Chains A and B, each alone.
Chain A
Amino acid sequence: MELTKSQIQQIDNRLKSGGIKYWDLRLEIIDHIATDLEQNSKSNDFNKELNNSLKRMGYLNNLSAVNTKGWQNVNKFYRKRYLDNIKTYLKKPLILLLVVLSIITNYFLFEYLPLKTFKLLNFSLYIIFSIPFFVLTTKLWLKKYGKSVHLDYGIFYFGFALIMINLPIQFAGYFEAIYQKIFLILLLPIFILASISGYQLFNESIQKVERIRKELNL
């Protein structure tokens, strides 16, 4: 017997209150439990059968561990894609040429501009390339898509370069002048590449979530 919408909702509520806070992690478990209940229920007591099903799955009192394992796997997936994207970009001759040109341009700017002006120019470029992050994440937040593990990691990796940029800048001061120079010249092209990779993942995560929502008629 097929479960009703209200019974599916009950399963969802149970998983949520048990610690699986991301709705896109709950989807698959809901289907598993629902299929199990449809095939193995022996009574009409839905709550009792739900408990039995969770026990059979080894999930009873274990739901927060399922949540942790779930987001760890999604993070791993996005982290791998983030690095793979950058490697793929660098294999494309046009992108590689643009990266080399930007490094050469930055080198000449460093050589011929006063250091203060060079830093101000680079800082302005960091700001310009960070604007899409703030605009697009605000637009996404206004859509109210709920707590999605895919969106969380899409946003995280979109902003990852921005979060991490401070680290090499802080540490640069501990190195000799020549290394500081290399840092300053290379950092901007790396930041742009990483931001583009993050943007691609961000877009993919939105597409993934919108596809699921469309299937759910939301």
Chain B
Amino acid sequence: MHKKIMYICSMGNQKLYKGSLQTIILKLLASHSKMYGYEITQKVKELTKGELNITEGALYPALHKLEADGLLDVEVAKVGNRLRKYYKLTESGTKETANKLQEMQEFLKTMQHLVNPKFSVE
């Protein structure tokens, strides 16, 4: 039951996306000064044209882990009748984003060589 809420739900490739959640969040925050949870889920849905739908059960633990690792900072603001937590990259978060994106590029390149040796993403 507990594991069930941890998955990223997509149309079919959830297992492939699962390991990339932190990189996705960091990349989004690198291109926005600050974002809140719901906004992140909607932005991912929009950018992937609905292909990737991050569940809250996967998003918030990932955000909290990145915060615990010192990669994200939190800001609280009142919106309507409730409070909203905004996340933004810390200095080490910005550096880690660059590393993660580099790793992702290398991973994609390797996968490309493996699954389709004739073509390359380069």
Contact = CB atoms under 8 A, between A and B. Distances in A.
How big is the A interface, by class?
20 to 34
Contacts of A215: 76-78, 83
A5 to B, nearest CB: 5
A31 B69 CA distance: 24
Contacts of B79: 31
Contact of B64 (A31, A62, A73): A73
A29 interface: yes
B78 A216 contact: yes
Given A73-B65, A77-B67, A59 B5 contact: yes
Nearest to B85: A28
B61 A5 contact: no
Interface of A: 2-5, 8, 27-32, 34-36, 57-59, 62, 65-66, 68-70, 73-74, 76-77, 80, 211-212, 215-216
The listed residue with most B CB atoms (<10 A of its CB), out of A5, A57, A70, is A57
Nearest to B67: A77
Interface in B8-38: 9, 36-38
Contacts of B2: 62, 65, 68-69
B4 interface: yes
Interface string B46-77: 00000000011100110011011110000011
A216 B68 contact: no
Contacts of B83: 27, 30-31, 212, 215-216
B81 A2 contact: yes
B36 A65 contact: no
A107 to B, nearest CB: 36
B82 A31 contact: yes
A58 B81 contact: no
A79 to B, nearest CB: 9
Contacts of B81: 2-5, 8
A73 B56 CA distance: 15
